[in-house]
A and B are shown apart, each in its own frame.
Chain A
């Protein structure tokens, strides 16, 4: 709250929204500061568990579901008795239970949870089906991580809330998520708060571009540069869940490429010229550091006005052999350094664009209507922005705009971000079951075998309930068209599988004009 007080807001009570972007959970995971969690799996048959690299240990039990959520092998409670160690019998151990296809049928997870709860009510249990997306491996690790960081997060949330309340501020507090959206402090699942930093810089850029513009977002820091894409006003989401340290998760995140290049990247002389290292060894030479950096090249060329001009020249000269330390060669070297940084950034931009162009398509319609070519502009922010803009303009061949308020751009992005919302329905009318991916809700379908309009209303209703639960307003929902799969048995249609979704894509509450 110290940082908050430094803002010296004249009328704190008039605040109507506080959004926090925190690295708390990200750091706890990356530094492996997490309490132990027991992972219990129902892996069934299929691919060997060993095909994946598991960063945590697990125990396996029998019991199997298939892709329709039908039980193909029951659980064996006899096997569970080996779990009754003295520790599990008494202390509030954390246990994550995940079954293959549990997002289609949670029965086995619930059976084991009930068994364990009966033995020790103080156990902290988490079940995989509450992460309702496919991917047993990611679902297992996501359930594990979310449980592992929950105490840490909830402590933080409580302290934050009480500090804010102590100042008589009634504004609700939200947390920024990896997908660039916000959710109320008390509703967000802890693991969803990871990677809000890169998301915040994309959202900050969004506040500075036209509502439907397509932009390349480049945030050049000291050691890393984050690159994102905005397509017709909507930031590109990663096609897979976030990867954090050794953990593959189901957490939705913006597609951000982080490359180890920044204003302070070390530069070393080689026989052929120089290499741009992927690490930082202190500040730029012109700011009192030991090694030349891209910042020195910018300073030498007069692209930035901070740092010592003399030191910048001295630093760059150290790269050149004695006889070539002339203004002509220094100029050439400085330009080559800037161009190399631009080249690295452009490489990441190209790879992001390629990922977008090559998103898998599963329908004929999608393949014969590929993404239209968009006209991009580039928005550059961060410490190295000013010095790199001309080189990037040339290399990316797009107009380049400098981001405003680079020193507080993450705060700007967090403050302006809107809630995101997704509700994805999977309905099997023959099995009379529906599931919601985002909440893991599984329920009974009582409607018709071949629903049409009916299913639209059903999804709207689910979305409204879910939004109310999150405490957010959903006005302009984007509706995906439904996919209907007739289920046929012996040349007779006996039901349908219906898939559909509504979304509130990440966006900002307004735009700033300079």
Chain B
């Protein structure tokens, strides 16, 4: 029997604040709906119980700055969501399930390669932690992540921007009209992973029909061409027409169809804050679609009262968008520092805003351009809140020997010559080792 795993972790004792959208109540009605329907009694559905993820797993994908200890009290719920994603991912890899749904709070897709705190309700990025875990432990080569949250999955994009073996596709409401304000067609990946990031910003008002059109005519062909070993869907539910933050017009049935089209190996809940009008129905439709059951009877009580863009209006818009996307050619700045190993190095400065606590992170990313592997990544990161400078050195999965050596040289230099840096992380994905360095405490393995 084709089995569908579900890991339902509503974190009923955890919130980001009493009236915060990310609060105890968020999955309460989803629980009521799933339990009342008796979905968990279906013979093909297997429920799993949550597990705490390890810091090693988190640090393999993300740098927790200034150091992991700074998060000791606040990481529990996030680590459980990460551990739960891994648990279901492992069940998928072992063949215990054909697909699965990680229905856990809080979300994670705004959390990027470097982390200084919570942003967009996210602290850890579960898809990224899961993907890197499966690559390290199961040797999975090619993974696609399709982000169907209404917000751009900027954190996931940041983590895999230089990774040629992860195809990241984000469909979202146009960044000019919604948080986080990124995710435009010209963001197509770093020098070694050009065109492995695909952003599809859609106009407010896009409904089921338009969304499915984009999936069938843009996303699915792209997926097919990449031929991934695994497809992960960041299943945000804020495209629903009742969502208080998004302005799209999708229905629960529309989400069922998205799932049916994408056929993800794992769906991972992201955002979605219409906790009564949408979540109980959308979650049910997604789970039923994964389980191969008819989802067409699922219907939210409210009717759409926003105007939906017709397919006739949307089609030319999407075609133009796709043309723009295809026309975008790589343009990178070559720049390195005196102590850098042999390059060339591509320099990409940018900043990241942490909305939860209201501060700015300044980043200077350097990527070793390489024809053989994903390339060594060197990121200088400074947070305006702590006035600390931290450095992430990443030796990628399947690194070539030059890039591996470049990573060790940079790591060595950091410890002995960077006077203004207080912390660092060596993310050695090649050997699955993560090492944290602190000026006061020295080196520690996680």
Q: A interface vs B, CB < 8 Å?
A: 45-48, 50-52, 64, 66-68, 72-73, 100-101, 103-104, 134-138, 240, 248, 358-365, 367-368, 483-488, 491-493, 497
Looking at B10, B12, B51, B298, which has the most chain A CB atoms within 10 Å of its CB?
A: B12
The answer to whether A67 touches B50 (Cβ under 8 A) is no
Q: A72-B301, A135-B35, A497-B28 are in contact. Are A365 and B13 (CB under 8 A)?
A: yes
17 CB < 8 A contacts A-B: A45-B297, A48-B297, A52-B42, A67-B32, A67-B276, A134-B35, A134-B36, A137-B38, A248-B38, A362-B9, A363-B14, A367-B9, A367-B80, A368-B52, A485-B25, A485-B28, A488-B23
Residues of B within 8 A of A (CB): 8-14, 18-19, 23-25, 28-29, 31-33, 35-39, 41-42, 47-52, 76-77, 80, 276, 280-281, 284, 288, 293-294, 296-299, 301
Query: When A68-B276, A358-B48, A488-B25 are in contact, do A46 and B298 touch as well, CB less than 8 Å?
Result: yes
Whether the pair B47, A360 counts as a contact (CB closer than 8 A) is yes
Residues of A within 8 A of B298 (CB): 45-47
**B residues within 8 A CB of A47?**
37-39, 284, 288, 293, 297-298
Give chain A residues whose Cβ lies under 8 Å from the Cβ of B33: 46, 67
Question: From A70, which residue of chain B is reached at the shortest CB distance?
Answer: B301
A236, B325: Cα distance in complex, Å: 59
Q: Is the CB–CB distance between A137 and B41 below 8 Å?
A: yes
Within the complex, the shortest CB–CB distance from A310 to chain B, in Å, comes to 49
Which of chain B's residues has its CB closest to A53's CB?
B43
Asked if residues B8 and A360 are in contact (CB atoms below 8 Å), the reply is: yes
B294–A485 touching, CB < 8 Å: no
- Minimum C-beta distance from A454 to chain B (A): 19
Q: Which residues of A contact B47 (CB under 8 A)?
A: 360
A241 to chain B, nearest CB (A): 10
Partner of B293, one of A45, A48, A365, A483: A48
Whether B293 and A361, one on each chain, are in contact in the complex, defined by CB atoms closer than 8 angstroms, is: no
CB of B48, distance to nearest CB on chain A (Å): 7
Q: Give the distance in Å from the alpha carbon of A248 to the alpha carbon of B31 in the complex.
A: 20
Please report the C-alpha to C-alpha distance between residue A240 and residue B38 in the assembled complex, in whole angstroms.
11
Complex Cα distance, B281 from A241, in Å, reads 25
A45 to B284, CA, bound (A): 11
Given contacts A46-B33, A47-B297, A138-B38, 11 further A-B contacts (CB under 8 A): A46-B37, A46-B299, A47-B37, A51-B42, A101-B32, A138-B41, A240-B41, A362-B8, A368-B76, A483-B12, A493-B19
Closest residue on chain A to residue B25 by CB atoms:
A485
- Whether A363 pairs with B12 at a CB distance below 8 angstroms is yes
Q: How distant is B322 from chain A, measured CB to nearest CB, in Å? A: 36
Q: Are A135 and B36 touching (Cβ within 8 A)?
A: yes
A51 to B47, CA, bound (A): 17
The complex places the Cα of A483 from the Cα of B23 at a distance, in Å, of: 13
Task: Give the complex CA separation of A451 and B24 in angstroms.
Answer: 17
User: Are B49 and A361 interface neighbours, CB within 8 A?
Assistant: yes
Looking at the complex, which one of B13, B35, B51 makes contact with A364 (CB distance below 8 Å)?
Answer: B13
Assuming the contacts A46-B298, A47-B37, asked whether A359 and B49 have C-beta atoms less than 8 A apart, the reply is yes
Residue of B nearest to A135 (CB): B38
Q: A137-B41, A367-B51, A486-B24 are in contact. Are A362 and B12 (CB under 8 A)?
A: yes
Q: Would you give the shortest CB distance from A394 to chain B, in whole angstroms?
A: 31
Q: Is the CB of B39 within 8 A of A486?
A: no
Q: Which residue of B lies closest to A138 (CB)?
A: B38
Within the assembled complex, what's the spacing in Å between the Cα atoms of A35 and B225?
Answer: 61
Chain B residues contacting A364 (CB-CB under 8 Å) are 11, 13-14, 76-77, 80
A363-B11 contact, Cβ under 8 Å, with A48-B294, A485-B28, A486-B23? yes
- The distance in angstroms between the C-alpha atoms of A483 and B24, with both chains bound, is 10
C-alpha spacing A52/B45, complex, angstroms: 12
Quick one: closest A residue to B24, CB to CB?
A485
Docked complex Cα distance between A492 and B25 (Å)? 13
Contact of A248 among B10, B41, B80 (CB under 8 A): B41
Q: Which residues of A contact B49 (CB under 8 A)?
A: 358-361
Q: Top 8 closest A-B pairs, CB basis?
A: A67-B32, A137-B38, A134-B35, A72-B301, A45-B299, A363-B13, A47-B37, A358-B49
